[in-house]
Amino acid sequence: MGKRVNLLMFSGEYDKALAALILANSSRELDAEVTIFFAFWGLMLIRDPERMSDEDKSLYEKMFAAATPKGPEELPLSRMNFAGMGKKMLMKMMEEEGAPTLADFLKGARKKQVRFYACKLSVEVMGFHPEELLPEVEIVDAKTYLKDAFESDIQLFI
């Protein structure tokens, strides 16, 4: 089809990340090119739990790194207390249906060569070192994101 999809992943929540990755992977299966630009809380999804380090971080950056989710399975729900249903309940229901987890979908996106961009300003403000992110992540500014978005057929802010 020659189509392009561009997702701006702002949220750092399990259910929204699931939606983003299902859209990304399904787009790849339709032969569309896909870019995800991770900004703000979205960066939580692409931290590499094996490669975290506190070196050269300010006190706030250390506190922040310690207090935030490390990798996909630690992300909270966007509606943690929505109707009293917690993340565990959703996970159980997904398991009953044999649905893959967020980590599986992330693995799928990496294998399918979804392009991963990380927002430079967000990375700097949060004090993340580039090597703490998944290795294929490119750190780019908002203009690089915009240029990709201008050439895309679908753009979503998630």
Provide DSSP, 43-68.
Answer: GGGGB-GGG---TT--HHHHHHHHHS
- Complex with its own copies: residue 27 or 135, whichever CB lies closer: 27
Give me the half-sphere count of Cα atoms (radius 13 Å) on the Cβ side of residue 46. Answer: 33
Shortest Å, Cβ 97 to its own copies: 5
Q: Which residues contact 43 (CB under 8 A, 6 or more apart)?
A: 12, 118, 119, 122, 123, 126, 128, 133
Q: Is 140 in the site for its own copies (CB under 8 A)?
A: no
N residues, the chain: 158
- Complex with its own copies: residue 29 or 135, whichever CB lies closer: 29
Question: CB–CB of 46/36 below 8 Å?
Answer: no
- Among positions 62, 85, 103, 104, the unique one binding its own copies when judged by CB under 8 A: 85
* Strand partners for 29: none
Q: Is 103 in the site for its own copies (CB under 8 A)?
A: no
Shortest Å, Cβ 15 to its own copies: 6
CA-nearest of 13, 1, 23 to 156 is 23
> For residue 54, what are the CA distances in angstroms to 40, 69, 70?
19, 15, 14
- Among positions 48, 69, 107, 140, the unique one binding its own copies when judged by CB under 8 A: 69
Shortest Å, Cβ 48 to its own copies: 18
Q: Is 12 in the site for its own copies (CB under 8 A)?
A: yes
> How many residues interact with its own copies (rule CB under 8 A)?
61
> Which residues of the chain form contacts with its own copies (CB under 8 A)?
1, 3, 5, 8, 10-12, 15-16, 19, 22-23, 26-27, 29-30, 32, 39-41, 58, 60-61, 63-64, 67-69, 76, 78-79, 82-85, 89-90, 92-94, 96-97, 99, 121, 124-127, 141-143, 146-147, 149-150, 153-158
